[in-house]
């Protein structure tokens, strides 16, 4: 059997396969915070029973949505992370509700919370207190500045935009600054979605799973302390090492990459096209494809100077802007067929709707139609992991 057919066959029927985390009970105590909500949703996709704890007025995250759009009565951002969850509302000013939550904690495998450090402790609901009756409990606290340190008690709510700002990632994201003629738009730029929150949530779910693995052999739970800002900074690539080696800050390069060129986007007649051809042998092949052998001798060091990137980008764009994406691809394939050494990697930059309509997305089940309680339905991005035995899945979304 062809490998691709085997992979497709064994990835199929995910809804009828076992769930890896079906024996776990998780309390999602995230509040107005997609980082904790995403972490809990990830566990729910693998089969964990997740109970979301909300105040009587509901989680403010229910209103998170672009353009004030709702589906099933809640915001689209909230809806995306309400997958496979149950929900109850409790009054944590009430002694009886606090006692009920303590009871839930005594039976839980995992608690995920995003409150300011010390707030739950004042109510007798912290990990320090819960572990006294549940030694197996894995507790994950998510907060911008972490659970200790000089800023942990600043009183500020966790916020994605603050997480982005203090991570260092916002500074290096955005258009390259023209030192001679700076423009208003050449400034540190936020990532379009709540990227720090989602990165923090991903690290949280990973930390929880490692703690559960440790618990499986020791019977002992533990606390996971996650700062989304630190989690986002962790994926800043070489920024910290660059500063250590040079004493300088790695500046914004827009769509360019400090390590490789070309590895960026160029205008085509019908779209924006990504092209990677950065090592010397690949660059030489790309120059052949463009019929610009006069550029072949430019070294890697030369191509990585920011001012030279701009010059070369304009030269390459003169070629790409006169071709459609398919024509660019055709020229690259001609060089491949002639046996010219090197590899050029192209890609067409798709709009969200083009991704949505792409057959590959539907065949690989990365988009999933989900029915809502009011009789309507929506489409959500499915879990990115494919697994032959215990695949994650979306079963429902909680909107009530």
Terminal Cα distance for the chain, rounded:
46
Give dist(CA 392, CA 384) in Å, integer: 9
* Closest by Cα among 103, 105, 117 to 28: 105
Give dist(CA 194, CA 206) in Å, integer: 19
What is the per-residue pLDDT for 178? 82
What is the per-residue pLDDT for 95? 93
Question: Does residue 43 contact residue 26 with C-beta atoms inside 8 Å?
Answer: yes
User: In which residue are the tokens 């019929």 written?
Assistant: 291
Q: CA quadruple 151, 156, 161, 163: dihedral positive or negative?
A: positive
Question: Does residue 171 contact residue 208 with C-beta atoms inside 8 Å?
Answer: no
Question: Does residue 208 contact residue 138 with C-beta atoms inside 8 Å?
Answer: yes
Question: Which long-range contacts (C-beta less than 8 Å, at least 24 apart) are formed by 3-10?
Answer: 8/363, 10/388
Q: CA quadruple 350, 353, 354, 359: dihedral positive or negative?
A: positive
CATH code for residues 3-235+370-381: 3.40.50.10540
Beta strands 25-29 and 49-54: pairing type? parallel
User: Which residues make beta-bridge pairs with 88?
Assistant: 53
Residues of the chain with pLDDT under 50: none
User: In which residue are the tokens 């203090």 written?
Assistant: 166
What is the per-residue pLDDT for 182? 86
The angle subtended at Cα 163 by Cα 159 and Cα 165, nearest 5°, is 115
Give dist(CA 262, CA 316) in Å, integer: 9
Give dist(CA 7, CA 14) in Å, integer: 13
User: Which residues make beta-bridge pairs with 49?
Assistant: 25
Give dist(CA 223, CA 141) in Å, integer: 8
What is the CB neighbour count within 10 angstroms for residue 267?
Answer: 14
Q: CA quadruple 140, 146, 152, 154: dihedral positive or negative?
A: negative
- DSSP tag of 79: H
* Closest by Cα among 394, 333, 371, 383 to 72: 371
The angle subtended at Cα 76 by Cα 192 and Cα 85, nearest 5°, is 120
Domain definitions of the chain by residue range: 3-235+370-381, 263-267+272-348
Give dist(CA 298, CA 43) in Å, integer: 50
* Closest by Cα among 123, 56, 46, 121 to 87: 56
């Amino acid at each position: 059997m062809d490998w691709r057919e085997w992979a497709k066959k064994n990835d199929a029927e995910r809804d009828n396969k076992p769930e890896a985390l079906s024996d776990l009970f998780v309390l999602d105590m995230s509040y107005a915070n997609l980082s904790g909500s995403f972490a809990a949703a990830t566990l729910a996709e693998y089969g964990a029973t997740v109970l979301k704890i909300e105040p009587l007025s509901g989680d403010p995250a229910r209103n998170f949505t672009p353009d004030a759009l709702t589906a099933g009565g809640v915001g689209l951002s909230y809806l995306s992370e309400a997958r496979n969850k149950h929900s109850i509302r409790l009054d944590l000013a009430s002694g009886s509700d606090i006692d009920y939550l303590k009871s839930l904690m005594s039976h839980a495998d995992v608690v995920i919370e995003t409150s300011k450090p010390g707030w739950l402790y004042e109510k007798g609901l912290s990990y320090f207190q819960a572990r006294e009756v549940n030694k197996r409990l894995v507790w994950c606290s998510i907060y911008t500045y972490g659970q200790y340190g000089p800023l942990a008690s600043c009183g500020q709510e966790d916020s994605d935009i603050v997480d982005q700002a203090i991570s260092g990632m916002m500074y290096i994201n955005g258009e390259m600054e023209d030192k001679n003629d700076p423009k208003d738009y050449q400034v540190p730029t936020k990532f379009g979605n709540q990227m720090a929150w989602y990165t923090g949530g991903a690290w949280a779910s990973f930390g929880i799973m490692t703690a559960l693995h440790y618990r499986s052999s020791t019977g002992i739970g533990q606390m996971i302390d996650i700062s989304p800002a630190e989690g986002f900074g962790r994926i800043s690539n070489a920024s910290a090492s660059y500063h250590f080696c040079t004493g300088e800050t790695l500046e914004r390069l827009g769509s360019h990459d400090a390590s490789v060129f070309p590895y960026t986007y160029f205008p085509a007649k019908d779209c924006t096209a990504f092209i990677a051809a950065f090592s010397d042998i690949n660059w030489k092949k790309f120059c052949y494809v463009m019929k610009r052998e006069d550029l072949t001798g430019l070294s890697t060091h030369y191509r990585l100077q920011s001012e030279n990137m701009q010059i070369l980008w304009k030269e390459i764009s003169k070629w790409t802007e006169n071709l459609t994406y398919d024509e660019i691809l055709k020229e690259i394939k001609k060089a491949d067929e002639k046996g010219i050494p090197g590899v050029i990697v192209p890609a067409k930059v798709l709009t969200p709707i083009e991704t949505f309509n792409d057959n590959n997305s539907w065949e690989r089940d990365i988009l999933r139609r989900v029915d809502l309680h009011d009789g309507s339905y929506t489409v959500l991005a499915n879990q990115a992991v494919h697994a032959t035995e215990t695949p994650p899945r979306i079963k429902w979304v909680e909107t009530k």
